[in-house]
Amino acid sequence: MKVYCSSLRLGLWGLLLWSSVLTAVPQNVAAQCPMCKTSLESNRKDDQKAVGQGLNKGILYLLAMPFLLVGTVGGLYWHRQRRFEESEERRRRILEN
């Protein structure tokens, strides 16, 4: 069990390091939906800010969903792993007595 946990920790540290490197390196990105871009450009000329605010809220909504999903799955995994370790500790105590 310890070999599995240590390799899992090593993998998690590697994933954390890789994601921090990817987010720390600045990248020039011009990836926008053409429909959103033309909509914002046409509304910018008319001084309508409601469409831009709606698009910003939609982008934040789309950004939040993967974080919520990963957080939920990670939390459930952590909770289940903690319960498993507690049951293993109880089993070990019973076998020692």
Q: What is the pLDDT of residues 46-61, one digit of tens each?
A: 566 666 677 778 788 8
Half-sphere exposure of 94 (CA within 13 A, CB side): 6
pLDDT tens digits, 72-84: 999 999 999 999 9
Model confidence pLDDT, tens digit, residues 14-46? 888 878 877 777 666 555 667 777 777 776 665
Tokens 């831009």: give the residue. 52
The answer to whether 54 touches 43, Cβ cutoff 8 Å, is: no
Buried b (16+ CB within 10 A) or exposed e, 65-90: eeeeeeeeeeeeeeeeeeeeeeeeee
Question: Are 40 and 52 a contacting pair, CB within 8 Å?
Answer: yes
How far from each other are the two terminal CA atoms of the chain, in whole angstroms?
A: 22
pTM above 0.85, yes or no: no
Q: How far apart are CA 35 and CA 30, in angstroms?
A: 14
